């Protein structure tokens, strides 16, 4: 592998700003790496290097000080967000040949900060399901073991990072879609608080379940991208103004937390014993550093019912017309979710919203005692890729294709920022992620704490790797 591709994104941006390299050097290195590696893993099925080089030429015409925070750093966009002039399929046969006429607000924001879009990363159809496969592009494979799932729905982004086909990547998350693939692929993914990252709105204008966020190979690189993603946009009525802080500086500060809670299962899900053991091992490392560590978690007892109802509602709101006009082209799981949403009663929706509010208030109270909450990011390591989803864990059989994701969607319910960082390996040498959770809008504290824990665990540079 080209040693240039192993460098941290922060280093690459520093070199871009110093004039030691150009964006064209970055694009050339990535294009060569993708040609070598992507046929083995299928992470970046749509490439747009001509567009990226055109944008790079325009960027290079500006003074360095005006090239944005990323200054020409290339980035792949998940194939759920439109990039003008690029094939944007959402992983669905319905849109298999669609060329986007306008970029998503998120993409425009990244490009204003000097990000160069060179590829679209693979995703399940409409991001539904935590295993990255679709009928348009096929299946993305885990580079640690290509017989295993890369998780999802930001699986293409995670695999691109893990194999040196990206320095940073965009992803999105409703039921853990940034955190799950980060865990399975040995990289870092963060779901931010609602409003931090603006996106284009097409249906529900105040949705807070599905959010966009950053992925990278380490916490500092992720924070660099996050700095370039945040900020208010008129096209997103929930978007928040940029804070007067640097998230990269917060990550670099590596702030040791004073008191943390740790939980093997959040009280709501089975967990593979090997994964639970790795979580407790990480907690003991913190305890040895003088951090107060206690086994505790908020009461998430309504998490399953609440998330299932509100998730189904979001599917019905956003995809009712697709079911009516293209039912035969939708995968069964998507059909089931839309139909479930359309059958909901007002009473069911009201109950779910009340449950979410109650869990949110209990979580706020919980974080008056604890700086951070630690738990697994996934309840297992990567499972066989031919399985559409994880059907069973530790003897427990799941009722639906999303039930195994409770460890992450419980956190989605309460709008807390959460990050997955590598915490260790199973006996099969598969990486597993530690989920670190902070209070709502606590990204600076989250990144500072994650930076500290990452340095403590010593797994910052386990990627990039060649596919195995």
The active-site residue, picked from 92, 121, 149, 153, is 153
Written as six digits, the tokens of 210 are 């599905």
How far is the C-alpha of 122 from the C-alpha of 152, rounded, in Å? 9
Nearest to 126 by CA among 340, 394, 311: 311
CA distance linking residue 304 with residue 406, whole number of Å: 7
Cα-based torsion angle of the residue sequence 3, 4, 5, 10 in order, rounded to the nearest 10 degrees: 130
Q: Look up 301 and say whether it is catalytic.
A: no
**415 catalytic residue (yes or no):** no
CA distance between the termini of the chain: 14
Tell me how far apart the alpha carbons of residues 264 and 161 are, in angstroms, rounded to a whole number.
27
Active site residue 40: no
From 103, 121, 154, 177, the catalytic residue: 177
Where are the strands (E) in 36-136, listed by range?
A: 46-47, 74-78, 116-121, 133-134
Strand partners, 262: 295, 374
**What whole-number distance in Å separates Cα of residue 415 and Cα of residue 438?**
10
Sign of CA dihedral 193, 197, 198, 204: negative
CB within 8 Å of 63: residues ≥ 6 apart: none
Which residues are part of the catalytic machinery?
78, 153, 177
């Amino acid at each position: 592998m080209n040693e240039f591709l192993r460098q941290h994104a922060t280093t690459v941006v520093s070199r871009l700003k110093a004039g030691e390299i150009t964006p064209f050097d970055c694009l050339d290195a990535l294009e060569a790496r993708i040609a070598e590696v992507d046929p083995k893993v299928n992470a970046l099925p749509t490439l747009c290097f001509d567009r990226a080089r055109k944008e790079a030429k325009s960027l290079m015409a500006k003074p360095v000080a005006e090239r944005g925070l990323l200054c020409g750093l290339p980035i792949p966009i998940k194939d759920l967000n439109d990039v003008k002039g690029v094939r944007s399929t959402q992983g669905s046969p319905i849109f298999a040949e669609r060329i986007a006429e306008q970029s998503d607000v998120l993409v425009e924001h990244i490009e204003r900060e000097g990000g160069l879009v060179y590829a679209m990363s693979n995703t399940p159809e409409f991001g539904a399901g935590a295993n990255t496969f679709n009928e348009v592009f096929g299946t993305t494979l885990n580079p640690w073991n290509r017989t295993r799932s890369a998780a999802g729905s930001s699986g293409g982004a995670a695999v691109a990072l893990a194999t040196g086909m990206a320095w940073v990547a965009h992803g999105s998350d409703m039921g853990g879609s940034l955190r799950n693939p980060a865990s399975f692929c040995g990289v870092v993914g963060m779901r931010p608080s609602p409003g931090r990252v603006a996106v284009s709105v097409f249906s529900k204008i105040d949705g807070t379940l599905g959010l966009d966020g950053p992925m990278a190979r380490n916490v500092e690189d992720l924070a660099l991208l996050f700095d370039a993603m945040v900020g208010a946009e008129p096209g997103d009525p929930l978007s928040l103004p940029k804070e007067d802080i640097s998230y990269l500086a917060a990550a670099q500060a590596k702030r040791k937390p004073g008191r943390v809670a740790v939980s093997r299962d959040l009280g709501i899900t089975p967990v593979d014993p090997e994964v639970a053991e790795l979580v407790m091992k990480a907690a003991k490392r913190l305890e040895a550093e003088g951090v107060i560590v206690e086994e505790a978690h908020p009461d998430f007892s309504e998490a399953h019912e609440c998330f299932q109802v509100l998730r189904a509602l979001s599917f019905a709101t956003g995809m009712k017309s697709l079911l009516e006009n293209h039912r035969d082209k939708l995968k069964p799981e998507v059909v089931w979710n839309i139909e479930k949403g359309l059958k909901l009663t007002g009473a069911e929706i009201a109950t779910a919203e009340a449950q979410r509010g109650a869990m949110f208030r209990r979580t706020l109270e919980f974080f008056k005692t604890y700086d951070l909450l630690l738990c697994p990011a996934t309840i297992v390591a990567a499972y066989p890729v031919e399985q559409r989803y994880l059907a069973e864990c530790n003897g427990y059989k799941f009722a639906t294709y999303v039930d195994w994701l409770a460890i992450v969607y419980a956190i989605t319910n309460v709008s807390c920022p959460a990050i997955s960082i590598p915490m260790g390996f199973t006996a099969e040498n598969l990486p597993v992620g530690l989920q670190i959770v902070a209070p709502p809008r606590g990204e600076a504290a989250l990144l500072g704490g994650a930076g500290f824990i990452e340095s403590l665990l010593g797994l910052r540079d386990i990627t990039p790797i060649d596919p195995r």
